[in-house]
Amino acid sequence: MHIHILGICGTFMGGIAVLAQAAGHRVTGCDAQVYPPMSTQLQQQGIELIEGFDESQLKLCPDLFVVGNVVSRGNPLMEAILDRGLPFTSGPQWLADNILRHCQVLAVAGTHGKTTTASLAAWILEDAGQRPGFLIGGVPGNFGVSARLPGGYGAGPHLPWFVIEADEYDTAFFDKRSKFVHYHPKVAVLNNLEFDHADIFPDVSAIETQFHHLIRTVPRNGLLVVNGQDQHLAATLARGCWTPVVSFGTAEGWQTGAGNGAGTLSVMEGGVQMGATEAWPLLGEHNRQNALAALLAARFAGVSIPRGLEALGRFSGVRRRMEVRGKVRGVTVYDDFAHHPTAIQTTLAGLRSKVGQSARILAVIEPRSNTMKLGVWSDSLAGSLTGADRVFCYSSQLGWDAAAALRPLGKRALTDDNIDSLVGSIVKEAREGDQILVMSNGGFGGIHEKILKRLSGE
């Protein structure tokens, strides 16, 4: 089958393209901006990319158009598809019908931690010899790719495992349900639930409703792995639950051991230690909880807690999750995806636990998500950044006053709507031993390399 993907350069749709190609389909695609690294990765797979959405692409005569949620009515190619009555479907629906129905699905949902937890779960299964498939919204260091088919896919009597990052964002312009309702998981991890995506959800109750739709799809012989500390998840489960639940993060359930030091991760059930590793590589309590969720999900798939902990000692992280981009003149520059106040706060706390109180942390933020641009979290932003010694905020194209929002931080905070000027201020402030933590859910204009080059005198 020949499929043509509209919006192919997004992480999710690009992952679908890789999976479709590996499954034997001919794949082409288009997007408004075709540029590295996704364009390079796809072209290496032999996937033809077209820039723009011109209706002349109908001449490719694909069997099916797969439409990403970046596409809306008024898109010239989509309008031509509709006018001619050509077959189309959404990315999540195509994935469910063509890949996931041949697998046992382990889905990781939540406002925060999806990429890391899904990467941890996939690696635990991989290290135990299960060769899972996966589609993750980042690139796990142990794999080097964001998506692949499982080993033995389509062969043998046993369904392989497929780990997927289960996003609550909507599916397509013609299907406003969350993506994850299409996945029908055997195991679902519910990491946390906060208000986000203010461009499509009016309040947190609307998000709870979508999470409950997901819960309704998990079979009674499956498993829900749920953060027992999250009140919104508790409220969601109270709407009805038909699947066994294992809770983590509570004294009566599963939790990480008290006094875990740097490099150490121990797991407790009801106060009894069930295993430990002295080679835990990630920072912060939030990542310990991510690991616990992944361990419990993998246990259902047949990997014991001690064996899973052994695997975690060999986990090499995820790109753009506290990733060190370089070190110049004693100044370390990190890249992180944090873009919600809770994630910003926990990321800063994790870095602080690593470097101690004597090192300075220079936080560099781009409020780029739709929710941030709308100003929903502007009142919470300053509070989330109190763990930083200095704060530099890129304030371009915001519908609110970033300087006013950060005023509680006093002289510690600086805002600028010009990236090059912001880089100059950061480099002028930086001194040996500083940790520069860049947080954005986008490319941030290549600011990481700009900082490193200026630090090196280029």
207 band by pLDDT with thresholds 50, 70 and 90: very high
Question: What residue spans define the domains of the chain?
Answer: 2-90, 99-312, 323-455
Q: Does the domain at residues 323-455 carry the CATH identifier 3.90.190.20?
A: yes
Contact indicator for 116, 287 with CB cutoff of 8 Å: yes
Of 425, 391, 431, 397, which is closest to residue 411 (Cα–Cα)? 391
Return the CA Rg of the chain: 22
Summarize the confidence of residues 410-435 as an average pLDDT.
Answer: 91
Q: Is 72 exposed, middle or buried (0-12, 13-18, 19+ CB in 10 A)?
A: exposed
Residue 259 has pLDDT above 70, yes or no: no
442, pLDDT greater than 80: no
- In this structure, which topology does domain 2-90 adopt according to CATH? Rossmann fold (3.40.50)
Residue pair 382/405 in contact by the 8 Å Cβ criterion: yes
* Helix ranges, 74-133 (H): 76-84, 91-98, 114-127
Residue-wise pLDDT for 337-378, tens only, equals: 877 788 888 889 888 888 888 899 999 999 887 777 777 777
Distances (CA, A) of 112 to 118, 143, 193, 375: 11, 22, 8, 19
pTM tops 0.85:
no
- Could you say which DSSP state residue 303 is in? -
CATH of 99-312, one of 2.40.30.10, 3.40.50.720, 3.40.30.10, 3.40.1190.10: 3.40.1190.10
Q: Encode pLDDT of 68-108 as tens digits.
A: 999 999 999 999 999 999 999 999 999 999 999 999 999 99
